[in-house]
Every structure is written in C-alpha cells, then in structure tokens.
Structure 1
C-alpha cells in the first residue's frame, strides 16, 4: 500500500470541497489517503509516497510560509504535485503576462504596485471602459477583488489604498460576459482534457465561486474554446518545463461594442489549489487517480 497526503488547510467548514471523491479510486489503485493541513508542523513527509496539493485555500494569507511548507515537502522523498517549480511560477498572477508574450490570449491587464486613488481615473481612461476589476497578484477565492463602476469608484478609494498601497496588483476591464454568460473552466489531468463547467454568479455579483453563491453546470466546450485551452496548456508546459498533474483553465468570452463574439480570453490558469469539481463529472476523480 502506498501513501498519499492530500494537502489542505486547517478548517474547510466555509468551503465546498470534493476531494473525498479521490479516496475510493485511489484505494482501488493501492493508495491510502490522508488529509494534512499545509500549516501542520513536524510532519514526516518521508512517510508519504506522494503529496497532492488540493485545498490550501488560505495560502494567500501567508504565501511565503506556504512556499516554505512546500519546500519542506519537496526536500523529502515524497513526490509533490503539482511541482514546486510550477507552484512558484503560478502563485503570482504575473504569469499571465508571460502566457500573453508566448501568444496566449488573456484578458487585457495593467500591472501596478503602490496604489494611489489618483490612479483610478487613469485606469478607466486606459481601457476606455465604464467598469473595472482590481485584484491582488497573489490571491484565491476572489479575496480582495474589487468590481468598480466609473461613477462610484472613488467611494472605494480608501479601501483600495488600505489593501494595495504597499502591494502589487492588477487591473482589468470588467468583462460583461462573466455575468451574461459565465466563466468556463476546463480541466486537464496529465495534459489530457477531462471535463468542463460553466460558472455563473448570483444576481448583482461577479464572483462565480460556490462560496459566493455562484451557479455551476456541466458543459461541452465548443471546438474553438477546447482548441484554445489545448494551446494554452501547451504554452504553460513550455514556460514551466513541466506537465502539471492537474490544470484548470478559466476562460471568458470577449465581445465587441456591438455584442459580436471575439473569441475567448484566459482569466486564470489554476495550477496550485483549484477545485477540480469531481462532483460535476462522475469520471473525473478516477481520471486524476
């Protein structure tokens, strides 16, 4: 019997987590599983054959400590998945810039640090838009993500300065199709496409996560989206030099002012701790195992 640690957090009570669906198919393949928090101390990682990063959904609160924990695992005899190098590449959303430089299509983005309220009008002018999204470069679960409307944006100036005055952040035009249609997530295991879902926010919100009231449905991605996702994963593999055990690629449809389809743009490549929504496809957990 081999031993696999499922890396999680201290308390998942506020989250929807489906990693328990890995237990049975892993057991059938001769693996015993154990949940271990990334914050746990004095763990003998050599006692495990593999450690799969799954639900450490508070890592953004102390990213340096999280990386240190992963380094301890990586220095043991256990195999860490996804790899430490992939995590270090993916943990800062500046990776999107490198994807774009390699020909991948991303949502238009400005990269900034040391926020000032005087920057707000310039952001709207740069994108020629009426709505913006500002979020940290290191974040999860839409934490500290702000949806701003031009006419009321200055009301959030103090809060934005409090969050971003001494940190790096990213600015994007708000993509209306997030509300009108939703956000597509495509899942890959060892480079092989598994399944896809469409996530839509609740009314008057833009966050698509279940914890924020988002609605999920299984979908069959159209050919153009699947091709773009395949190409994006190929770019990521070239950039990291590593095929991830799992990848979730989040896309949104772009439209012009006349509401015509302009194709898809990558919102995020989730390679650290994405929910893989095993509950949405009855073959997904087995495929990963």
Structure 2
C-alpha cells in the first residue's frame, strides 16, 4: 500500500483520476478545474491534498486525515463494491460527508424522510424491488397525466423515462426485469422543467453559497450536461434559499456540503427534486469564492 502523501484525499473515480484532461475534453477539464480550486483553497489554509480513485486497491486510507467525496460518479453502477468499501474505509479515516449520510442519501427513499420533516418535496411513489407495478394504474390512481420513472439508486438520468397513458404498458414491461434487482420511483412530470429548468443551490457549512440554473436541451427533459443540458448563473430568491437550507438541516446529521435541486410545480411552489450530499457537482468554477467555504467546511471536519 502507498503511504500518505497528503493530509486530505479528494475522492474521484478511475475515469477522472489523471492529472490532465485529454485534448478537447471539456468534461474532464471542468472536473480538474473544480478540484484545483479546492486544492488551492486547502493549500492556503495549510492542508495538502491529493486526488485518488475511491477504488484504488493500493491506497492506504488510514494515512489520510480526511477523505472527501468529490467525483465518485460510478458508485451507483457498483453499489455492492461501493457499499463494501464504505464499510472498510469508515474505521480508517474521517469521511466528508460521513458514511452514515452517504448511505442515507444513496437511496431516494430519503425524500420521504425529508417530507416527514416538513420539507416540500416532489410527490413520490416508491416501487419496491421484486414487484411488477402497473404504471397505467398508478398514473390513474395518482391523478397524473404524465410522470417520470427512475431507479431509487441512480445518477446521470440512468433508466429514467417519461411515462404517460400511451407508453405506460411498454415501460412497465421495460422496468419489470430491472425491478427484480432494484427499486424504482414514480414522480409527476414537472412541466416547468421544460421552461425554467432546475434551480440548484449549493449549501456549505449549512449556509447557501451560490446557485445555478440547469436547462435541458430542446426536445429533452434531462438537464444533465451528459445529455446536452446547459448551466447558467442564477440569483435565487430568499424563499429558494430558505428551502435549500431547511432541506440540509433536515438531514439525519448536518452535511458539511451539498446541493439542493428545486423545481416549480403547476401552482408555482418550489419543491425539492433531489438533495445531493454524496458527490455533488458544486460548480465552483461559477463561483470560485465557494472553494474557500468548502475548504473551511472540510477543515472543520478534520479539526
């Protein structure tokens, strides 16, 4: 095993563990730029850091003062391996965010927890693994003309579809074999996603720092840049900030950092679509000052 080469490990996955982006690869270049902003902020505070693949078999995690989740964006495709790794690393070093929060946030059943704690969330029906739900019947029962169906553990819009009465039977057949292994969820389709998009607020140390607006490409509803979505500056309202900070405060324990994705329903109410505290993209490049806040939050976990 390699001995410690820095105070803090910034966790990525094997695709992004290199120090240079391939020519013309803006996606990896953004990842490296974001981590460099954080590493510079940590260095100014007297802390060294190194980027490591979370699954690196040669890493000696006990040598680090802290390991910080950054771009472990393959975890949801390797859940058994990732869960076992969490169990092994937890006694070896401090994790930021902690393993208990990571386990809670991995599964979107957490939305039910937030709702029970008074946070406004997008209505969600959970379709448990091992069942074969009739999407047509569920749409009719919920009174939704259109919905989105997706796995409870996922990312990057994996296995995410729009469903209506016209394609419900086809999609029921498509997800049935997937549901032998994993749970899905059904949410009403939020029409305003096609117009306003999603409003994403970053919350570090319990306080809002900055926000962006994520917009899908024409003809799509998925706002992720993997699917052609774009990111724009956004100045949130005080109400949006209040919801985001309240959502973070409703977690089982206070996250050091995370982001809250909001959408607006047909009544104009802002709802939490997702709360991301495992490996959130934080768009530090849009607001470099937030790297200083993130560095302080990480150091607060170490001290």
Taking structure 1 as the reference length, the TM-score comes to 0.90
Q: For residues 145-169 of structure 1, what are the alpha-carbon distances to aligned partners after superposition, in whole Å with 9 as ceiling and x for unaligned?
A: 1112322333334322232244211
Report SS of the residue matched to 1:255: coil
Q: For residues 106-150 of structure 1, what are the alpha-carbon distances to aligned partners after superposition, in whole Å with 9 as ceiling and x for unaligned?
A: 11111112353x602112112322211111111111111111232
- Which of 74, 84, 94 in structure 2 is aligned with 1:58? 74
2:41 pairs with 1:25: yes
Report SS of the residue matched to 2:156: coil
- Which of 42, 55, 60 in structure 1 is aligned with 2:58? 42
* Residue correspondence of structure 1 range 1-289 to structure 2 within 5 A: 3-12=7-16, 16-17=30-31, 18-76=34-92, 78-113=93-128, 114-116=130-132, 119-236=134-251, 240=252, 242-256=253-267, 261=268, 263-289=269-295
1:233 Cα shift? 1.9
1:189 Cα shift? 1.0
Report SS of the residue matched to 2:15: coil
Q: For residues 37-96 of structure 1, what are the alpha-carbon distances to aligned partners after superposition, in whole Å with 9 as ceiling and x for unaligned?
A: 1111132112211110111101011223212212322211x3210001111111111111
8 Å contact 1:248–1:269 — kept in the other structure?
Answer: yes
Report SS of the residue matched to 2:288: coil
Gaps of 5+ in 2: 17-24, 296-303
Q: Within 2, Cα distance between the matches of 1:109 and 1:148?
A: 14
Q: Within 2, Cα distance between the matches of 1:287 and 1:168?
A: 36
Give the root-mean-square deviation of aligned CA atoms: 1.8
Q: Within 1, Cα distance between the matches of 2:195 and 2:187?
A: 18
Q: Within 2, Cα distance between the matches of 1:140 and 1:180?
A: 22
Taking structure 2 as the reference length, the TM-score comes to 0.86
Q: Within 2, Cα distance between the matches of 1:216 and 1:152?
A: 30
Gaps of 5+ in 1: none
Q: Within 2, Cα distance between the matches of 1:277 and 1:213?
A: 17
Q: Within 2, Cα distance between the matches of 1:94 and 1:30?
A: 39
Q: Within 2, Cα distance between the matches of 1:155 and 1:91?
A: 28
Number of aligned residue pairs: 278
Report SS of the residue matched to 2:176: helix
8 Å contact 1:115–1:166 — kept in the other structure?
Answer: no
More strand by share: 1
